[in-house]
Amino acid sequence: MDKQFTVVFRNVGQVYFPQTRVECHYSLTSDHQWSSSDWIGISEVGCSSVKQYYTYTWALVPEGYTEGAGVNCCALFQASYLPRPSALEYQFIYVNKMGKVCARSRHFTFRAPKPLEELETLKEERDEEDGEEELMLVITKAQLLQCRLEECLKKQADIQQALDLAKEETEKEKESSRKAKVEWELEREAMKEEISELRDNVRLNCEILKKVEGKHKNVKYSQEYLTFELSKLRAENDESQQRIKDLEDDIKVLNGREKEENGDMERLKDRVKKTSSQMKHDEEKRKCLQVEYEAAVVEVRGLQERLDASEHVAESLRRELRELGTRQGHTHTELHQARLQVAQLTLLLSEENLVLREERANWTLEREAYKHAAETDAKKFQELSCEVQRKEEWLQEERLEREKLEVELGRERDCNRVLQSDAKRELQELMASLRKAQKEREEQQADKQDLVIYIRQLEQRLEVGPETESDGEIPTCISPDSSSEDEENASSASPRSICSPLFLSTPLERSDRVEILAAETRIQSKDDTQ
């Protein structure tokens, strides 16, 4: 049945005194739904209804309680509302707002303390200003033990709260470290992606530069071929040389830009190496923090062991109370003998006072040890918080550096875009110049063909003219040898005409000069025949 209860009563004694207040300690489990209408009552054992209670108090929870969380609580019953001493057995009951019993405690009774056996004498020393006087206080042993139990329970609750706070802080720090690790991994992946993009861009730029160099080589070969063909044209030779010089200057500029881009790539590689070394250093710091967390967990375990020891001490005190109850039964039958043995009892009381003083000394030592442990824990938590602040500052610095790198990368991308646009523009200009050169070449070839056709027509006219003339000096027929020689002379004259200024003169001047050349060739052929 106790396993089905959602509330558990703790540290319930067997005997309570009506002259002192009673503390009821209980724990709310995660399955319990607490309400402000919940109450705790003291009722007789075997009562048939919840309403048959002797007294009750409201079930309170500490501040900051959240529904669904387990918590330890305490309720107080004042002495004026407690039952009178009797042999009846009572128990604590926890009732929720619906009137349902959520828990029942074990049985206990209310008894009056014995006058002689349970009295204790306490000495309180005053200061030196009061004359160092000692005051003797007479208190029941049950009250004294109950006060000690209350102190032990308070200390236990304080230590439990400190442990809970320590666990919460450790969990928060673990979550913050995990979040920082996840953010760092995301940033590292983003940086890797950006670096890969930059590498791809650099590769594309290198390929574009190689293509430009290949095209430039083709342009060089075509320019050489054109210069070889157009070397005979004096007027266009200077223009072609000037173009070649301009192209060489452009190539130098492109080579300089390529060197600058290579330098920028080396700088980016150095930055990536620095960021990787910083990441390794951060991983080492994280490992150190994990080691410190493990040490803190070990210290928390030590505190838990100390709590267990304090619980054992509380159990021993309860056993002493039980033994005192048994002694009460024995001493009730032996009252007459006890009166005769007052002297022996006084000696026993003095011995017990000594034992109590020793226990006080031990309790003070344990308290100092707990205080020292709490101070060390506080120092360690402060150090951890300082380290967390340092990590946050370092993360902010890393973010600033990342932003700077992003700005620099944006600038470099803009520069690359500008360079690409310049290269494209230069390529377009080179293509336009090549097209112009090809058009001029085609025009020159057309002019050459026109010249060759015109020369052949003139030769045909010159060959037809001597046949029709009546002059005997000129032969009426032309031999095959002479025609072949004429053709050779015409073929030799055709390149000469290309080299001569006929190509650059007007059409009328060209016709006159062609006639003169034809006449000269004819005279030379006549001389050869003679």
Measured in residues, the chain has a length of 530
Do the beta carbons of residue 105 and residue 91 sit within 8 Å?
yes
Phi, psi of 77 (to 5 degrees): -115, 115
Q: Which of 64, 412, 63, 85 is closest to 267 using CA atoms?
A: 412
Q: What would the DSSP string read from start to end of 75-91?
A: EEE-GGGSPPS-S--EE
Quote the CA–CA distance of 249 and 255 in Å, as a whole number.
10
| DSSP state letter for 130 | G
- The pLDDT of residue 296 is 74
Quote the CA–CA distance of 356 and 371 in Å, as a whole number.
22
Q: Which of 154, 150, 142 is closest to 321 using CA atoms?
A: 142
- The pLDDT of residue 92 is 92
- The pLDDT of residue 496 is 39
Rounded to the nearest 10°, the torsion over CA 166, 169, 175, 176 is -140
- Cα angle 305, 306, 312; round to 5: 90
Do the beta carbons of residue 384 and residue 292 sit within 8 Å?
yes
- The pLDDT of residue 473 is 44
117-141 burial string, b = 16+ CB within 10 Å, else e? bbebeeeeeeeeeeeeeeeeeeebb
- The pLDDT of residue 508 is 44
Quote the CA–CA distance of 337 and 340 in Å, as a whole number.
5
Q: Which of 221, 215, 266 is closest to 423 using CA atoms?
A: 215
H/E stretch holding 55:
strand 53-58
Q: Are strands 90-95 and 109-110 parallel, antiparallel or unpaired?
A: unpaired
Do the beta carbons of residue 217 and residue 432 sit within 8 Å?
no
What residues does 40 pair with on adjacent strands?
57, 94
Which regions in the chain score pLDDT beneath 70? Answer: 1-4, 114-142, 230, 234-237, 240, 328-329, 331-333, 335-336, 338-339, 341-343, 345, 465-530
Please state, as a whole number, how many other Cβ atoms lie within 10 Å of the Cβ of residue 293: 15
Do the beta carbons of residue 134 and residue 123 sit within 8 Å?
yes
H/E stretch holding 463:
helix 342-468
